[in-house]
Structure 1
Amino acid sequence: MVLNGEKLLEEDRNISVFMEYMKKRDQESYDLAKKALRNIKSYSSTRKDGKGYRIRIKCKNEERMFSCSFPYIYGDFMDIIEDNVDLYKGRTAYLENTGGYLLNFMTQRGYDSIGLAMDEDEWERSIFSNFPVYRREYLKRELYPLVIGNEEIGTLDRIIWIVEDYREEKKFLDKYLNDDVDIFLLVPEKLEFNIDELDGKILISRTFVMSDREFKFYFLSSRGNYEPEVTKIPEGLEVLNSGSVIFRVQADKCRDNNGFQYTENGHYFVETLKQYEKDRDLEYGDSFLKKYYEGFQPKNRRDNYLWEEGVECFPMDHGWLYDPWRKPANPPIREKRFETRKGGNHNIGPNTQEFGQAEFKRLTGAYEVLREEGYNPDFFVDGYITGYLLIRSNDYRFIASEGQHRIAALAALGYESFVCRFDLKPWTNQKVFYNQASKWPQVKAGIFTPRVAKMCFDHFFRKDNNLRLLEHMDGSIN
């Protein structure tokens, strides 16, 4: 049954509109899905057992709840595939019976791929597994197709199949399984399964044990000659020539919104975690974080960047405003700083005692999770550290938008690099080039001159910001 989208919008049934029109792939339907998305709210939370997360989405007259949990064996499976074939070459189909893991994995990396859902329930669960991200970014990056049923999808190079119900799934996939298609399989132990029923010779066979459960990995192909290829996630500026929104950055090129470096002495989050590493009973009142919030209380953006008096930098010395590369054009300059949550701003002081204690708890909590489990962003909604790149000649800085506590924890744990994702919120430029300052939104709007705009950009490339911060606070690290 085809639903009348405009009528449903009038009835404030935006979830139904979103679902109906995300199944189609024409531009008109996609635009209607995005229109509905703006009237849907979403909430996500980690489950109490720490294994997965819950998502609640609602609009005026509808509500949905989903619970997601992905076994880490999925990550091992995809690691082996990426170590043996270049997924950027050719077209990949995958059976989406994972509740959204494969949909999000394949889409974010920019692989030419199509998902195959056996029914509408699986399709819905997969689409909504990452819904808070779609909601925040308004689907700025279109999802690759996830089709329902045996639709004609054209030529394929390979199929990825995590087996759950072999007989039913094979019946569903039979029309796609032929001599020309490589097959990657992950099969749990004690499952009814006959490898001889599948075309192709076994090129790779491995056994995994996870949580006392055994899994078999198979790579089948009819190709006579097989030369392993590696799927390489773009590193740094390599992402500019890639369709991926996932890429690897060096930790020493990461900056927070102040321009402070995570890998040099003096970063307020990292120094606090170094204290915490030595003393697990550390309290906020004795932490470097509290000292920082009390010692760094800028009154405007000039103070925030620690620019000396006498430097002509209007309007930076008149209040708080967006960075010159942010869009759209800035509203009137704010006299008061932005608050990240009620009671404070996690990047600067002053903050209430309650805010500081909560921030300290968030920071140490992120550290403990990453210390125990490592950084596994594919297994959680919003799991990726996100941000954007400032690019000057052949150098870059990654500016963190979401995940500043996680970067600090990774830095404290000694990570030299990590995989991140572009921030795709509508007001964020993912790639900002120094030589295009005259085209930056706030410059075009006349709020910044190109000279001052470039001064802001250069601030994030300075090597002494942390040192200047410590001098400003007039104290060494305890």
Structure 2
Amino acid sequence: MVEDIINNGNVKYKGSILEKYYSTYKPYTFKELYFINQKPIISDKQDSRILNENLNYYKYDLWSDERQKVQMDRVHEYGLLRSHGTQHFGPVSIQKGELELQRLKDTYHSILKYGHLPNKFGFISGYFLRYKNRYRFIILDGNHRAAVLCAMGYSKIPVTFQAGSPRIIDYNDIKNFPHVKRGLFSLPLAKQIFKTYFEDDGTKKARNLGLIN
């Protein structure tokens, strides 16, 4: 989407790749969120139950200490209720889709004019997943900035760790993470979900959704 903004500053939400993404990728359950490219390993009835749970009931961070319920009738981002949707996937309302496009435009023009100034505007933050000697950085704050910087050709982006979150979540230590210890996810299922972050950079998912050839 940002590449389109760079090439056409007047691009509209209707008919954009962002609208196509939101209208195509509409996971309703955890299974639809994590397993577009493969079948999940289901060890017991609890795995089946959690995989088929409505995504709107809880926030979907698998590694946090507590399950946080989503309040659909409360103001979420930029004055819109959570019922308008989330930035990460569809369905979203037209207002939400247009808001996300405008956020990308505003971020792009700000960085184009002033440069990337994390010390002034804040760092992109999150935590690392580690699998063997490989790492993936999970962004908790700064998705729009990361998308813009990548589209603008930045090869390195400074990040920081978010307070209250672990800095590194290691594959070999999954058994000790809260949701696994509580039995919310079985160990085999948690490991499979963990590895999905290393098996696809998003290209395979986009191709399966018909977003790219």
Alignment match of 1:347 (pick from 88, 91, 113): 88
Listed one character per residue, the Cα deviations across residues 137-157 of structure 1 (whole Å, up to 9, x for unaligned) are xxxxxxxxxxxxxxxxxxxxx
Select between 405-414 and 455-464 the one with higher mean Cα deviation: 455-464
Tell me what 1:273 maps to.
Answer: 2
Closer, same or farther: CA 471–390 of 1 in aligned 2, 3 Å: same
Q: Which amino acid aligns with 2:86?
A: N
Tell me what 2:193 maps to.
Answer: 456
Tell me what 2:27 maps to.
Answer: 298
Unpaired stretches in structure 2, ≥5 consecutive residues: none
Tell me what 2:63 maps to.
Answer: 325
1:476 matched to 2:212: yes
Give distance in 2, aligned partners of 1:308 and 1:418.
29
Q: Which amino acid aligns with 1:358?
A: L
Q: Which amino acid aligns with 1:455?
A: Q
Maintained 8 Å contact 2:41/2:192: no
Give distance in 2, aligned partners of 1:417 and 1:368.
19
Alignment match of 2:160 (pick from 417, 421, 428): 421
Q: Which amino acid aligns with 1:409?
A: V
1:364 matched to 2:105: yes
Closer, same or farther: CA 284–395 of 1 in aligned 2, 3 Å: same
Alignment match of 1:388 (pick from 127, 133, 138): 127
1:376 matched to 2:117: yes
Tell me what 1:405 maps to.
Answer: 144
Shift of 1:281: 1.2
Q: SS of the residue aligned with 2:175?
A: helix
Give distance in 1, aligned partners of 2:76 and 2:32.
19
- TM-score norm. by structure 1 comes to 0.39
Shift of 1:311: 3.0
Shift of 1:407: 0.1
Q: SS of the residue aligned with 1:284?
A: coil
Shift of 1:273: 1.0
Tell me what 2:13 maps to.
Answer: 284
Listed one character per residue, the Cα deviations across residues 283-331 of structure 1 (whole Å, up to 9, x for unaligned) are 1113111111111101111111234685334222333353332113x36
Q: Which amino acid aligns with 2:116?
A: Y
Tell me what 1:316 maps to.
Answer: 51
Listed one character per residue, the Cα deviations across residues 94-151 of structure 1 (whole Å, up to 9, x for unaligned) are xxxxxxxxxxxxxxxxxxxxxxxxxxxxxxxxxxxxxxxxxxxxxxxxxxxxxxxxxx
* Identical pairs, percent: 27
Q: SS of the residue aligned with 2:64?
A: coil
Unpaired stretches in structure 1, ≥5 consecutive residues: 1-271
Maintained 8 Å contact 1:387/1:421: yes
Q: Which has the higher contact order (CA 8 A, sep 6+)?
A: 2
Maintained 8 Å contact 1:340/1:346: no
Alignment match of 1:467 (pick from 188, 191, 204): 204
Equivalent residues in 2 for 1:197-276, closer than 5 Å: 272-276=1-5
Shift of 1:280: 1.2
Q: SS of the residue aligned with 1:312?
A: coil
- TM-score norm. by structure 2 comes to 0.83
Shift of 1:466: 2.3
Listed one character per residue, the Cα deviations across residues 43-70 of structure 1 (whole Å, up to 9, x for unaligned) are xxxxxxxxxxxxxxxxxxxxxxxxxxxx
Give distance in 1, aligned partners of 2:51 and 2:167.
23
CA RMSD of aligned residues (A): 2.2
Tell me what 1:6 maps to.
Answer: none
Q: SS of the residue aligned with 1:311?
A: coil
1:434 matched to 2:171: yes
Closer, same or farther: CA 410–308 of 1 in aligned 2, 3 Å: closer
Higher strand share: 1
Closer, same or farther: CA 446–299 of 1 in aligned 2, 3 Å: same
